[in-house]
Structure 1
Amino acid sequence: MARTISVAALQTSYGEDMTANINKTAGLVRQAASKGAQVILPSELFQGPYFCVSQEEHWFATAYPWREHPAVIAMAEVAKELGVAIPVSIFEREGPHYYNSLVMLDADGSPLGVYRKSHIPDGPGYQEKYYFRPGDTGFKVWSTRFGKVGVGICWDQWFPETARAMALLGADVLMYPTAIGSEPHDADLDTAEPWRRAMQGHAVSNVIPVVAANRIGHEQVTPQGQDFYGHSFIADHRGDLVESFGAEDEGALVHSFDLDHVDRYRAAWGFFRDRRTDLYGALASARPS
């Protein structure tokens, strides 16, 4: 019998009411599960608005230890009820430290552990270094009931090293919860297509399906506000978009993959056979000139 996995990406808007956001996400998880999805990806920090658009200390009060986070507790109940796995993106507090984190819930609702975002951006509209320490967990691949799932968080998705590391750890599929949209310093800059192409490239180079879930809508965290461009998608192991949303769609994208076929296709291309680790020292030591 062939190994298969059915994955989903959720796309919606969020407000400041954490309970309402969690309930909205749970409803979309149910929608995805009703379509046969087994591993269901909500977007980044769905607990509330994307607060990192500015530096406001009151947002630190919305972080929780990962085992006690309301989103984790609620999604664990949903995962157990529906028999699905859910990567849950949260604002985590560990003692005096704060992280942008991901808790992987298996299909029985049990947590498989935590991943802390490795790459932390710092720029107009994405001032995450004010809130989050760089992750200290290393990259993670989770052995869920349905397959091995590697998850990076938003800015991680732009780095080919993240995808390659998770592929080398044995991932069957890569997932990226995201919160990205307008650039406050340049109203004409639209990164939606480069954002997609970067991850489609990871799919091609690692011969692996990629799932990205972004939020939509206008959020008035600052007087200027910020618009999130959606365009969530699922790409296959060739990098082709097999499911996709636009800038305003709300719902769940679902697609199934034959993992045995993907494994054969990956072996045939030889990307991992022909790696030259003896030449890659510059990846860890070189600095841009």
Structure 2
Amino acid sequence: MTLGEAARRSAADNGFDLQAFAFSAAPEQLRPPRIVRIGLVQHSIVLPTTAPYVQQAQAIRSKVGQIIDAAGAAGVKVLCLQEAWHMPFAFCTREKQWCEFSECAETGPSVAFCRELARKWGMVIISPILERDAAHGDTIWNTAVVISHTGHVIGKHRKNHIPRVGDFNESTYYMEGSTGHPVFETAYGKVAINICYGRHHPMNWQGFGLNGAELVFNPSATVGGLSEPLWGVEARNAAIANSYFVGAINRVGTETFPNEFTSGDGKPAHKSFGHFYGSSYVAAPDGSRTPSLARHMDGLMVADVDLNLCRQAKDKWGFQMTARYDMYASDLQRYCTPDFQPQIVRDPAAQSPS
């Protein structure tokens, strides 16, 4: 696939990994190909976390702007940034001053920045931010804002699952989201966002599939000591089970904070989460996937995806057609009652004698 000299020159000049791949679908007689060029961006922060917040935010926007411009020059039409891309991932610290980075999902500075670039390149941009919901008592949410190719905000999705493991103290800052499993019908396909920890929850992935998603992005911030053995299979499994494409995006770099914090894993007090290992990739509904972006570098992954492959995978495997949603719904309804009893059939001969 052709990316153009401008994108390759930008990657060389600005020191980010640039990779490109293509997924094809079988030719059809009644439908033309539906090829969409998508982009995933992974990056580190720029300034130390001790720098003034306004300078940190401006430096990140400057770096990310260069990568988005490269994506635009390469012809990307749907692009997703990493989780909380506009700030350090400070949710290990429990220090509420980091809430200063939160912003309005419609008019905040990071959103305005992405809206301008979306208009410039005719590109749908998914901008995951720390949202401040002024209409509801300044509640803080972990939110992905979906911006159309014309630069207007289509809508937003809030993170459904909040980790309570290791250094991930996110529940100190925001609660589980309230927006369900929305799918956004853009000019280039039906797009959904499964923010970070949701990738560990199969039914979360399924919720987006039930609503008709064709492209699901998983903007993340996760470290090597916790999740790296799982990273390469989770998005791929979700793509297979739900017959859609998945773009898995992870932050990169090591972020050190001014004050020590303690861990749910019982580690001695420390100042760093560990290494965000990047390794972003795209997985397809037929089980194929791209290689990963670099583990220690900023990066832009570009992929041409033929959305016809989604329906072709459904027709081949019939996962959705043969699912027993009525049975699952009944099981879940029983499970959610206070007097739930697991359906376990015991062997009387295996009981201990009284």
Indicate which of 184, 188, 198 corresponds to 1:142: 184
Secondary structure of 1:248 counterpart: coil
Indicate which of 256, 267, 281 corresponds to 1:233: 281
Q: How does 1:1-289 map to 2 (within 5 A)?
A: 1-15=32-46, 16=49, 17-94=56-133, 95-182=137-224, 189-221=225-257, 222=260, 223-226=270-273, 227-280=275-328, 281-286=330-335
Q: Which moved more, 1:224-233 or 1:69-78?
A: 224-233
CA distance in 1, matches of 2:255, 2:87: 10
The structure whose Rg is larger is 2
Q: Which residue type is aligned with residue 72 of structure 1?
A: V
Q: Which moved more, 1:26-35 or 1:238-247?
A: 238-247
Q: Which residue type is aligned with residue 112 of structure 1?
A: I
Secondary structure of 1:135 counterpart: coil
Give the total of aligned pairs: 283
Structure 1 residue 243 displacement after superposition: 4.0
Q: Which residue type is aligned with residue 11 of structure 1?
A: Q
TM-score (norm 1): 0.93
Structure 1 residue 96 displacement after superposition: 2.9
Q: Which runs of 4+ in 1 moved over 4 A?
A: none
Structure 1: unaligned runs, 5 residues or longer: 183-188
Change (3 A) 1:190 1:225: same
Structure 1 residue 46 displacement after superposition: 0.9
Give CA-to-partner distance per residue, 1:177-230, whole Å, 9 cap, x none.
111114xxxxxx452131221221101111211101111111002443122111
CA distance in 1, matches of 2:153, 2:93: 31
Q: Which moved more, 1:148-157 or 1:241-250?
A: 241-250
TM-score (norm 2): 0.76
Percent identity between the two aligned chains: 27
> Is the 1:211–1:234 contact (alpha carbons within 8 Å) kept by the matching residues of 2?
yes
RMSD of aligned Cα (Å): 1.7
Structure 2: unaligned runs, 5 residues or longer: 1-31, 50-55, 261-269, 343-354
CA distance in 2, matches of 1:85, 1:60: 27
Secondary structure of 1:123 counterpart: coil
CA distance in 1, matches of 2:211, 2:312: 17
